[in-house]
Structure 1
Amino acid sequence: MEEVRKEPVTAALVVINIAVFLLVEFTGFSQDIEHMIKWGAVYPPLITEKGEIYRLFTSMFLHFGIEHLLNNMLVLFVLGSRLERVIGKWRFLFIYLAGGLLGNIISLIADLSKNSYAVSAGASGAVFGVMGAMIFVVLRNKGHLEDLSIKQILIMAVFSLYFGFASTGVDNAAHLGGLISGFILAAIAGQPRRRI
């Protein structure tokens, strides 16, 4: 219980994501495209033609199936708890939300440039934002943070990106956008609240 109190934002984000997933499942099916659109998934024409910009935010809390949810929540818990302890809850929340939004914006721009309109959802843009911020913080801390080394975090990032590109139906633009955004956001706003 002590660890949860130290990382309240990470714990709250995990709970919110799980709660939203359960609500989606209880009211329909999380792998039903139309149902996910009703809940706020990103579909570019609805943003550009109908002005439903809120989808860039709401989609961050939706997941296509239990495996999608569990993968994102596991990485969020492992990295988020460490990052939140170091930079503080408000900076962490800012990086998570802003990284996710910027990842979704970059994904939207990529889709529009290709005239490719896919329905997308998931916390992975925000999670990659946390990963990008962790890379910055670990580099700033001379290659180590708690039990993580720069080598470990870079391997995690490379494998996560690789599996995205090697799989179908993955929003790789959001992943890359989130990763880069998180790194930059950490450099701007993610200074540690204590010596690390």
Structure 2
Amino acid sequence: MTELKRRPVTFGILIITTFVFMAIQIFRFGDTTSGVTIFEFGGLYGLFLKYDPSQLWRLVTPVFVHIGWQHFLFNLLAIYIVGQLAEQIWGSWRFLLLYILSGIMGNVFTLLLTPDVVAAGASTAIFGVFASIVVVGYFGRSPYLKQMGQSYQALIVVNLIFNLFMPNVGIVGHLGGLVGGLLAAVCLPTVIEKQMFQTWQRLLAGGIYLILVVGMILLAL
């Protein structure tokens, strides 16, 4: 209960993600790999968004939807580990914003570059959080942040290499998540070092994020 109070966003994400996956189990009798099912429960299918742009909310919802037990359990563990660390670094609400912004950027990359794929999963947001920790580790003065940054830099490289040999993994979304997390890390001040970046740097990163997201959506649609 104490951990829940200290890291409410991390556990909130875990609860919502589990609820969605269990709902698929109940209402679709365990069919968690069908493209139709994933789309019905909030997955992203770029070609459909071209047909109906009013469903741009699907750039957010895929981070809570997972394809099969392995995908679900792996990402749940990753959220539990990296989420608590990131929530400690940024605080609860900034961590939530970081998570969502990373997921959106990853899904926008997927929309533009692989529109014929039904995509879902928290990996876009998770990779964004990885990238954010690397950024604050590189630019921060705290030895703790620097150590974490180096660890997650290696983790990103290893995961991307594995992605190359796993055809069913959306590496495009992961790369987009990395870009989103990098920009969000500059925009959002940490609890540990609030003055890590100057105001103009934060505004520049925020502007680049908006230009990328809006520009890619317009190109895709």
CA contact (8 A) 1:79 1:134 kept: no
Which residue of structure 1 lines up, in the alignment, with residue 110 of structure 2? 107
Runs of 4+ in structure 1 off by over 4 angstroms are none
1:170 corresponds to 2:172: no
CA drift at 1:124: 0.7
> Take 1:71 and 1:142, find their aligned partners in 2: how far apart are those partners?
32
Shift of 1:25: 1.2
Q: Counterpart of 1:9?
A: 9
1:136 and 1:186 in contact (8 A); partners too: yes
- Structure 1: runs of 5+ lacking an equivalent: none
The number of residues matched between the two structures is: 191
Contact between 1:125 and 1:174, CA under 8 Å: does it hold in 2? yes
Decide which moves more: 166-175 or 135-144.
Answer: 135-144
1:125–1:137: structure 2 CA closer, same or farther, 3 Å change rule? same
Over the aligned positions, Cα root-mean-square deviation in angstroms equals 1.9
Using the aligned pairs only, state the percent identity: 28
Gaps of 5+ in 2: 195-221
In 1, the alpha carbon distance for the partners of 2:142 and 2:193 equals 15
Report the CA distance between 1:42 and its aligned residue. 0.9
Aligned residue number for residue 193 of structure 1: 191
Which position in structure 2 is the counterpart of 1:124? Answer: 123
Q: Secondary structure at the match of 2:118?
A: coil
Structure 2 residue aligned with 1:83: 86
Aligned residue number for residue 37 of structure 2: 35
Q: Distance in 2 between matches of 1:44 and 1:102?
A: 14
Q: What letter is aligned with 2:57?
A: Y
Distance 2:68 2:96 in 1: 25
Which residue in 1 is equivalent to 2:178? Answer: 179
Structure 1 residues 175 and 144, CA gap change in structure 2 (3 angstroms): farther
Task: Name 1:135's counterpart in structure 2.
Answer: 134
Q: TM-score, normalised by structure 2?
A: 0.80
Deviates more, 1:16-25 or 1:48-57: 48-57
**Greater shift in the superposed pair: 139-148 or 73-82:** 139-148
